[in-house]
Chains A and B, each alone.
Chain A
């Protein structure tokens, strides 16, 4: 694999079935990273951080090249290994969701972070992240609607702007957080509903416009979620995006006709990573159909479908069949979708490459 040329824009998405991370080359050797996940096919001792593994393969030194690290929201499928990226890129700016700045949030999660079993709850990464933040010279930025997180005007204009969360969403998130039970912490920490504070990003390099949808959801109120982002985009009279990282793994609650009609060009390039956890698997066939009704240019990092679990030991098969109604293997296919386009091409032609188990979305049905 070769790195992109200095005049080439790249959008890469990595996904192992449970997890999502993105790397965006903004030209001239400057990179943005969004979230983090692991390559579950790699051996942990060899380094399984999807983004760092990729940078290693293409010969990019993250300590020099990564200029901005964004954590869109603190859910397990977006933050695994994020502290590794912070350590690998000490000079990079870091932007985080507003929730971490909330004292209520910290009070709510403290019991879950304490005591035996805490390491099983996916919260250890928060501790590693906290230590990595503390050791940095540059303090993180809070990402919120219309806040510019990165800007360059030399050679070509580059801008990374947060398009969410809205102020109302941050308040709603804190209201949710205080309701997390603190007495009985014997299970896993419950998810905070709504992905209220997920950070949608606008990446503009010259004429190239990329919309990274994170896991932001649609709410009934226009003050919250995607509709607040759409309104902000419309009011600022910004032009439309030609590349879209589909929101919330293609779920219907992360999609709305106004996103397509007001923010995206006709038939945009769409990329996404699947989400498989428990009996929840996204995108489903209906989600894929919905996306393909808007564009024929869509790619996914791996299949979102599980398969019947087939262990090699017969005793295990027999006992599983006797005990459980149904046993399915969680797909751990790992893939990478890469879009590259020259800055000077008019109109921009995106060259798409797929690696691992990545595929065209139409083939995932």
Chain B
């Protein structure tokens, strides 16, 4: 369920991030004992039939994303890794990750190409930033393992912001020319 939810929300996020140059807070994060979708214009609301709407009235082609399964009663984060793709082949890819726990652990992992959603595959290239999170979820008394692996959508900086950065660099290093 969570994978579906995040995939669909990612699609929304991609559509949004291409439109705007302003930095946005988008993605998901673990809160006290659950997983929370964050998007400036998205809201989460449970409906009477058990469907959870995670986005409404969004600009662009995607206007809403619906999760077809009932949400888990409890989601517990177990590990979260932030990384980037180091190589891509026809049927797989490799990535390096650093633990988000602040313990400086780093891992290298190889995946089948199917492990990222179809929406993410066009973004799969060397340097693309990834998030891999592992969690357990409780549903009707049963505890299951789950994980999400997705590519971060990073909005392009504005021309003004880039020009400001270049001015700083020129101030610091221009005399070396």
A: which residues have CB within 8 A of B? 18, 40, 96, 100-103, 106-107, 109-111, 113-117, 120, 126-127, 130-131, 133-134, 139-140, 142, 183-190, 277-280, 306, 309, 311, 313, 315-316, 318-320, 322-330, 332
Contacts and interface: CB of A to CB of B under 8 A. Distances in A.
Given A188-B129, A330-B106, A313 B87 contact: no
B27 to A, nearest CB: 10
Interface of B: 23-24, 78-79, 82, 84-87, 92, 94-96, 104-112, 115, 123, 125-129, 132, 134, 136, 145-147, 149, 152-157, 161-166, 168-177
B112 A325 contact: yes
B161 A131 contact: no
The majority secondary structure among interface residues of chain B is mixed
> Looking at A184, A186, A325, which has the most chain B CB atoms within 10 Å of its CB?
A186
Contacts of B85: 187
Given A110-B163, A311-B79, 16 more contacts: A101-B173, A102-B177, A110-B166, A115-B23, A116-B154, A117-B129, A130-B169, A142-B176, A187-B85, A315-B78, A315-B136, A316-B134, A319-B146, A323-B147, A330-B96, A332-B105
Q: Which label, helix, strand, loop or mixed, suits the secondary structure of the A interface?
A: mixed
Given A277-B96, A279-B87, A100 B165 contact: no
Given A114-B162, A117-B152, A278-B95, A309 B107 contact: yes
A224 B68 CA distance: 61
A3 to B, nearest CB: 29
A120 B82 contact: yes
A187 B169 contact: no
A309 B171 CA distance: 45
A27 to B, nearest CB: 30
